[in-house]
Amino acid sequence: RVLHASELDDSEVRVLSNVTIRNKKSGKDITYQLVSESEADLKSKKISVNSPIGNGLLGKKVGEVAVITTPRGDIEFEIVKITIE
């Protein structure tokens, strides 16, 4: 059975979610789609759920903050919008 996007839960970030996040320090917004490792393509703004950012966003809801640990230190991202297309 193929599910229509309207049947999917967009209340929290999950695989295939399009999520707009705001860097709390810079104030800049960016939208990514969370996908499987094999579909990841940063140029197309598709990030793997296994990446540090993807993993940190999973399960978050709008308004929540994800703290992502990077080699340059922790970065806070606020979840601004979640959609499924």
CATH class of this structure's domain 5-84: alpha beta
Pairing mode, strands 29-35 and 46-48: parallel
Give pLDDT, residue 4. Answer: 52
Query: What does pLDDT average to over the chain?
Result: 91
Reported pTM: 0.86
Q: Looking at residues 23-29, what average pLDDT do you find?
A: 97
Task: Indicate the burial class of 82 (C-beta count within 10 angstroms; 0-12, 13-18, 19 or more).
Answer: buried
Q: Residue 32: what pLDDT?
A: 97
Whether pLDDT at 23 is above 90? yes
Domain ranges of the chain: 5-84
Dump the DSSP string for 39-65: G-BGGGTEEETTSHHHHHHTT--TT-E
What's the distance, Cα to Cα, between the start and end of the chain in Å? 17
Which is it for strands 29-35 and 17-23: parallel, antiparallel or unpaired? Answer: antiparallel
